[in-house]
Amino acid sequence: MFKGLFQRPVRSMPSAVTLKTDGLDMTNIPKHVAIIMDGNGRWAKAQGKARTYGHKAGAETLKTIVRAADTLGIKAITAYAFSTENWKRPVTEVHFIMELLSRYLTSEIEDFKANNVQVRFMGSREGLPAIVNEKMDHAIDETKNDTGIILNLAINYGGQAEILHAVRSIAQQVANGTLNVEDIDAPVFENNLYSKGLPSPDLMIRTGGDLRVSNFLLWQIAYSEIWTTPVYWPDFSPDMLIEAIKVYQSRERRFGGLVQK
Ligand code: IPE
Ligand code: IPE
Ligand code: MG
């Protein structure tokens, strides 16, 4: 069902970053990388600064990583920017993040277009400030014909909420008579997820040292390779992305089967 999506010609970016790719197998680059960008607050605190300073730095890191990912030939990045549980944070921090998102989507749009980045989002639009929703729609519209890397931002996203959303949508289709219960299978389910149209991540990266999933992509990471680092997100670098990919390349993906030796 995902045939064709990743068959576009690979474009090189105008001012592609120089990357140390020695030892990297360029024929086995993960197509889709999911990132839990964690540790912004601790990074700032370690420098005696406010947590918000870390979020600002984290947004810069994402730009660098998207450029590096594109240069390496990664086709899609799904980045966890704000979870359904992050509303529990102090209102000042939540406001700051929403404003940062809004500003980011404005300031980066020309850059996304210049670099052929297609912006997508996953998560619930409900509860987001109107301005953020507008900027998201604008970013989708402005970049919808871009054929380079897909930057899929998870905003107001939770894996459980996504599954519930899919279940409600499927139940509605059954109630309407447009879907038979016996036709509900994995592809139908996936078509009702926010990630519709994107293949499962090959690699999931978590920065910040915690070894948990924190409600990210619960369905989609069934067979993703996981790589974690204690490094806080603002300090994550293209070299570390390459290190993660090298580890990914050393893994044997069996998907429950056996690898022929
Ligand atoms: C990740 O960094 C960004 C968001 C969750 C919005 P954190 O803000 O969680 O930073 P730490 O984990 O508290 O250091
Ligand atoms: C996950 O980080 C969410 C994002 C990176 C947006 P959190 O900081 O919210 O996760 P927990 O609280 O450590 O599980
Ligand atoms: Mg955190």
pLDDT tens-digit profile of 39-57? 999 999 999 999 999 999 9
Q: What is the pLDDT of residue 18?
A: 86
What share of the chain in percent tops pLDDT 70? 93
Q: What is the pLDDT of residue 260?
A: 74
What is the per-residue pLDDT across 89-135, written as a single tens digit (0 to 9) for each?
Answer: 999 999 999 999 999 999 999 999 999 999 999 999 999 999 999 99
Ligand 2: residue of 214, 217, 228, 229 to mutate (most ligand atoms within 8 A of CB) is 214
- Say what the pTM is: 0.94
Q: Exposure of 36 by Cβ count < 10 A (0-12 exposed, 13-18 middle, 19+ buried)?
A: buried
Three-class secondary structure of residue 32 per DSSP: strand
Instruction: For residue 158, give the nearest of 186, 126, 132, 184 by alpha carbon.
Output: 126
Q: What is the pLDDT of residue 5?
A: 53
Annotated catalytic, 86? yes
Q: Where are the alpha helices (DSSP H) in the chain?
A: 40-45, 51-72, 91-107, 109-114, 130-143, 159-176, 186-191, 238-250
**Ligand 2 centroid from CA 216, angstroms:** 9
**What gap in Å lies between CA 17 and CA 64, rounded to an integer?**
9
208 CB under 6 A from ligand 1? yes
What is the per-residue pLDDT across 175-222, written as a single tens digit (0 to 9) for each?
Answer: 999 999 999 999 999 999 999 999 999 999 999 999 999 999 999 999
**Ligand 2 centroid from CA 245, angstroms:** 23
Three-class secondary structure of residue 119 per DSSP: strand
234 CB under 6 A from ligand 1? no
Ligand 1: residue of 37, 40, 153 to mutate (most ligand atoms within 8 A of CB) is 40
Residue carrying the six token digits 């939770």: 158
**Ligand 2 centroid from CA 14, angstroms:** 34
**What gap in Å lies between CA 256 and CA 248, rounded to an integer?**
17
37 CB under 6 A from ligand 1? yes
63 CB under 6 A from ligand 1? no
**Ligand 3 centroid from CA 134, angstroms:** 27
Nearest-ligand number for the alpha carbon of 51: 1
**What gap in Å lies between CA 226 and CA 215, rounded to an integer?**
15
Q: Of these residues, 25, 70, 86, 152, which one is catalytic?
A: 86
Ligand 1: residue of 35, 38, 211 to mutate (most ligand atoms within 8 A of CB) is 38
Q: What is the pLDDT of residue 17?
A: 67
